[in-house]
Structure 1
């Protein structure tokens, strides 16, 4: 299976234009509306198109007419339906992730995947215009869903996946339907013009029976706060590793953090990422290791970002709004192994300082064992003392607990003598062993 990085590199400049295209079997396909900067400068008026994809046509969209959709043979109302709703499109180009998300959703479950193409409306250089169109687009989609319901479709089997401004659009649809939609997923809901919005004016937990939200750019294009039954905060929800820190990087400086929400969701959906999040009051508490217990959740483990977070729904609804934090690497597959470190010292007097820990790993020889094994640990202490003798410490025990892989043995080492600013390296042992 190709990685997400491979997919984007091959497809970023090969998206279909609006209208019809012949697929391999000679049938015509309806594609996402492709506009350009001239449309954005002139401005576009709202026009909503609904493109159907299923396992039978994962790469060939079928446009559904709002009133005559029952005549479409591929549209089976007894199946669950996932609606994919994009956000603001300042250049008018189709989102590079659309095709990949559609395919993965169809592979994961036998569903109707409907891409809500409101590019005519979202493609305006004036962001205020696009924001205003979200209400009208939501009204349009609400009418279509009510027609589906009249034909026998169940609201609780529907899943709305909204990206950026599309997350609020999904919330408006859910509110129009009195919160009876089964699930809404918000991927970095848009922040500009929504920062001071009331719950009725943005995505909120009452919009669906279950609302999960991912935050990756809260200090710029994303929305701060908690807006779902569970809110995931990648690396604290703001700056993402690997994204440019200066404006000299060009467009990537503005969009990288915001787009990371989709890349993380695709990676989790594809099964190449396992992103475990830890319910916690704040990111600082998470980094300090104060929020690592998840026995209260059913199943008895911490929730994971992605499509399958629905299995924690019962526990999350009982707990109320939950914040969950996790860390990632800078690139695909983003998964970072986390360890809890416990140290017991012999020293009598309290000293403030910093402990630096490095884990040295070896890549496994077999691809089936893709997680590295720690073969050496390095420790160094620094108290900041610049006058007087170097501080010495005796560790009676250091223990490392792998959080995401509980089946792995705990790693320990006993009786270690350290001198300030001098690195000590050792091989970890099973906690059942002693030197």
Structure 2
């Protein structure tokens, strides 16, 4: 019996040591959501030196935090089931991949876990106070507000805003990923995320008709697919839980796509999604950071350009694919008399020339320039000239491009075409969806 007690005690000690050595995100049950939890904020530090084993830090122990590097806080939102966010690990690792920085996961699951949304939202300012105390100590140790970056998801976006307000908007940057709408819609700036909460605030709105905030909240507000129903998400309640959370979470996955080398999503500043779809907002210049911004991590490349605007705010629209990495080749069709022009601006990393096979009655060539140049394709079909400016990845779909024909529309018309959705019937020269 004594041996049994010793074994149990040893196991408890081992578990305790493991927990202290590599703290993990708080995992709660649905029972906790029903009965409720008190607020407890846990901060976990990740760096390139400890990518897989977090270090617990707080306002009295900053651990291995490097004050000379950027520090990025990741703040989650409402957790009605108590489970950890499924995207958290990918976001931590993705950030460390693109830059040598401090990444701090703000775990306020004890507080966010409840079936009563208002209980969670009421704790957001308290979480912000905890974060301010921590940042104050960072500043004492030599950190700069310029190097503080906060990524807030849903309620977490407003928490980031509250922290920013306490520093009079001097934080380096805040990214809001579909900031929560319920109980925040229509509130004054002091009660929600606002463009003045940091030196640069960018927001991705992916569920404006349900869980997200509809109106602009940042210096630049991105609206993928108009900010409404996202491609690939369930359209009916038969989709189960995904019907409720897929659109809302898409903002996170779109941001994640910006951390990967195979996907750079260009957005188009525009007054409305309708104007964007009608091709009224596609005049991107060179270089891109002074024209059309990239979504996600590199959106702040557009910050200096925004300062030239009064006020320094804009909305930007784009379309995505249904699955990761969500990049989609979008063509802008412009018809002038008998000329059809299709354009897309994006990154082109390596100069090259592609010769594409074409139908017997057509000749085709592709010329690709260096970074941020255009890739052009010209097909001559029965006196109709078709000029294309495409993303480099389209070169791998040579057969599709070579067989492309476009119906000549009415003069001076312009619209958006999604490559891959549009198909051409060569017999009648009409577009088939």
Which category describes the TM-score, using the shorter chain as reference length?
0.7 to 0.9
Cα gap change, 1:22/1:317 in structure 2, threshold over 3 Å: closer, same or farther? same
Conserved 8 A contact 2:290-2:302: no
Cα gap change, 1:239/1:148 in structure 2, threshold over 3 Å: closer, same or farther? same
SS state at 2:174 partner? strand
**CA displacement at 1:218 relative to structure 2:** 0.4
Conserved 8 A contact 1:399-1:411: no
Q: 1:245 corresponds to which residue?
A: 235
**CA displacement at 1:411 relative to structure 2:** 9.1
**CA displacement at 1:294 relative to structure 2:** 2.5
TM (norm. structure 1) is: 0.76
Q: 1:220 corresponds to which residue?
A: 210
* Residue 83 (structure 1) aligned with residue 76 (structure 2): no
Q: Give, in whole Å, the separation in 2 of the partners of 1:312 and 1:412.
A: 37
Q: Give, in whole Å, the separation in 1 of the partners of 2:358 and 2:177.
A: 38
Cα gap change, 1:403/1:286 in structure 2, threshold over 3 Å: closer, same or farther? farther
Counterpart among 174, 198, 211 of residue 164 in structure 2: 174
Q: Give, in whole Å, the separation in 1 of the partners of 2:138 and 2:213.
A: 32
Q: 2:388 corresponds to which residue?
A: 401
* Residue 337 (structure 1) aligned with residue 360 (structure 2): no
**CA displacement at 1:333 relative to structure 2:** 1.9
Correspondences of 1:336-375 after superposition (within 5 Å): 336-345=328-337
TM (norm. structure 2) is: 0.77
Q: Give, in whole Å, the separation in 1 of the partners of 2:34 and 2:394.
A: 57
* Residue 283 (structure 1) aligned with residue 273 (structure 2): yes
SS state at 1:269 partner? coil
Q: 1:431 corresponds to which residue?
A: none
SS state at 1:82 partner? strand
* Residue 307 (structure 1) aligned with residue 297 (structure 2): yes
The number of residues matched between the two structures is: 362
Conserved 8 A contact 1:273-1:333: yes
Q: 1:49 corresponds to which residue?
A: 42
Conserved 8 A contact 2:357-2:402: no
**Structure 1 runs of 4+ off > 4 angstroms?**
19-23, 373-376, 403-418
Conserved 8 A contact 1:88-1:165: yes
Conserved 8 A contact 2:233-2:242: yes
Conserved 8 A contact 2:386-2:406: no
Conserved 8 A contact 1:90-1:124: yes
Correspondences of 1:35-114 after superposition (within 5 Å): 35-69=28-62, 72=63, 74-114=64-104
Q: 1:184 corresponds to which residue?
A: 174
Q: Give, in whole Å, the separation in 1 of the partners of 2:272 and 2:308.
A: 20
* Residue 424 (structure 1) aligned with residue 426 (structure 2): yes
Conserved 8 A contact 1:274-1:304: yes
Counterpart among 8, 23, 36 of residue 30 in structure 1: 23
Render the CA deviation track for 1:64-116: whole Å, top value 9, x for unaligned.
Answer: 032132xx2x2111111000000000001000111111111111111110001
Q: Give, in whole Å, the separation in 1 of the partners of 2:330 and 2:406.
A: 24
SS state at 2:105 partner? strand
Farther off after superposition, 29-38 or 269-278: 269-278
Counterpart among 262, 266, 271 of residue 272 in structure 1: 262
Cα gap change, 1:154/1:35 in structure 2, threshold over 3 Å: closer, same or farther? same
Q: 2:362 corresponds to which residue?
A: none
5+ long unaligned stretches in structure 1: 1-18, 347-354, 358-368, 377-393, 428-435
Conserved 8 A contact 1:398-1:414: no
Conserved 8 A contact 1:277-1:326: yes
Render the CA deviation track for 1:336-390: whole Å, top value 9, x for unaligned.
Answer: 11112223446xxxxxxxx9x9xxxxxxxxxxx9x9x8968xxxxxxxxxxxxxx
Cα gap change, 1:401/1:56 in structure 2, threshold over 3 Å: closer, same or farther? same
Cα gap change, 1:64/1:299 in structure 2, threshold over 3 Å: closer, same or farther? same
**CA displacement at 1:425 relative to structure 2:** 5.4
Conserved 8 A contact 1:395-1:416: no
Q: Give, in whole Å, the separation in 2 of the partners of 1:417 and 1:243.
A: 34
Cα gap change, 1:300/1:137 in structure 2, threshold over 3 Å: closer, same or farther? closer
Counterpart among 125, 141, 148 of residue 131 in structure 2: 141
Q: 1:116 corresponds to which residue?
A: 106
